[in-house]
Structure 1
Amino acid sequence: MNPDCLQALAFDFGTSRIGVAVGQTLTATATAIAPVSARDGIPDWNQIDQIVQEWSPDALVVGIPLNMDGSISDMARRARKFANRLHERYKLPSFLMDERLSTREAKSIHRAAGGGTNYKKESVDGIAAQLILESWFSSEQRIPSHSRLEDLYDIGQS
């Protein structure tokens, strides 16, 4: 693994769909790819297996949807659990990235590109994953997925 040119996959965790993006550190850019289906937050692991095999990432990044006040949401806990499962399954370094407002920004980008507002039909999850990964590339912070959220964000139990 060349630390100057890491290939990474990012995930925007959701209960019915998980956004995915691929990128590399050399240019610090990412590209959205097709989302992964999920049922009540349980991903289609066969789809993820295929993505990991195709892209051969050096690292995995999962967005953590904290509440705007920095408190830990139920979805943040579920996303962290998903990140841990990715780490266990693929034996790759897995990281967390604060993703507050990434979906809002993804919707704005989608609309600016001429997309509609039916986000169930026109997924913006990949754009959100792209934003998460590009934020991770530009961040100095590398938060391992197995870290306690309460310790990382210096907040109390919610």
Structure 2
Amino acid sequence: MTSTQKQAFHVPLADLLDLPGKARLLGLDLGTKTIGLALSDVTRRVASPLETIRRTKFSADAARLLDLAEQHGVGGLVIGWPLNMDGSEGPRTQATGAFVRNLAKLTAVPMALWDERLSTVAVTRMLIDADASRARRGELVDKIAATYILQGALDRLEGLRRERRPEEAD
């Protein structure tokens, strides 16, 4: 997928700075069997795990996702973009792109892509270090990976906010 094709269904992360007031962000870690979800606070500075959706079919998954977005006052989505370690796009990236394109047909909520390389590895290591059992890791890894993805994006947004402040003072 070319960058022109990506532009058709997502916005640059910086566009999420311009969301209204207390709109939250929802982070997604799209897996083949589950979708991990994380939610920001209303100041868009802290990410917290929300839930894991067991994937069934797109329409049901999208309905649940959009219902949660509405319930929590979500103004934007941050979706993990599963690039290969060398930065190339593979089958998981293509599947994520298809999901996002289809979701974009159902909602006007802006969606930003965030490089998720190593997020699941980092989260799994953290859970192992916390002595979580294999079963417990399986329960938690997707929504914590979504939290890791969302927090990375929130930290970048905070940096962009700081860069923008001097201009706003002019």
* TM-score normalised by length of structure 2: 0.71
C-alpha deviation, 1:121, in angstroms = 4.2
> Which residue of 2 is the match for residue 37 of structure 1?
54
Specify the SS of the correspondent of 1:2.
coil
Structure number with greater Rg is 2
Aligned runs of 1:114-153 on 2, under 5 Å?
A: 114-118=131-135, 121-139=138-156
Aligned to 1:149: none
Say which is worse superposed, 84-93 or 37-46, in terms of deviation: 37-46
Q: 1:97 to 1:115 in 2, by over 3 A?
A: same
Matched residues in 1 for 2:33 and 2:137: separation?
10
Higher strand share: 1
Per-residue CA distance 1:105-150 (angstroms, 9 max, x = gap): 11122223331124784231000000111111122599xxxxxxxx
Q: Distance in 1 between matches of 2:76 and 2:28?
A: 11
Count of aligned pairs: 141
**Correspondence for 2:75:** 58
> Stretches of 4+ moved more than 4 A in 1?
40-43
- Structure 2: where are the runs of 5+ without partners? 1-18, 161-170
Q: Supply the distance in 2 between the matched residues of 1:48 and 1:40 (Cα, whole angstroms).
A: 12
Alignment equivalent of 2:126, drawn from 96, 102, 109: 109
Corresponding residue to 2:89 among 49, 62, 72: 72
Query: Quick check: 2:81–2:113 contact (8 Å CA) kept in 1?
Result: yes
Shift of 1:56: 1.9
Percent of aligned pairs with the same residue? 27
2: CA distance between counterparts of 1:91 and 1:20? 19
Task: Please state how far the C-alpha of 1:61 moved relative to its aligned partner.
Answer: 1.1
Confirm or deny: 8 A CA contact 2:38 2:146 kept in the other structure: yes
Cross-structure match for 1:100: 117
CA–CA distance in structure 1, aligned partners of residues 23 and 93 of structure 2: 25
**Residue identity opposite 1:130 in structure 2:** T
- Structure 1 unaligned runs (5+)? 143-158
1:2 counterpart = 2:20: yes
- 8 Å CA contact 1:7–1:22 kept in 2: the answer is yes
Note the aligned Cα RMSD (angstroms).
2.6
Q: Structure 2 CA distance, aligned partners of 1:37 and 1:54?
A: 19
CA distance in 2, matches of 1:69, 1:43: 34
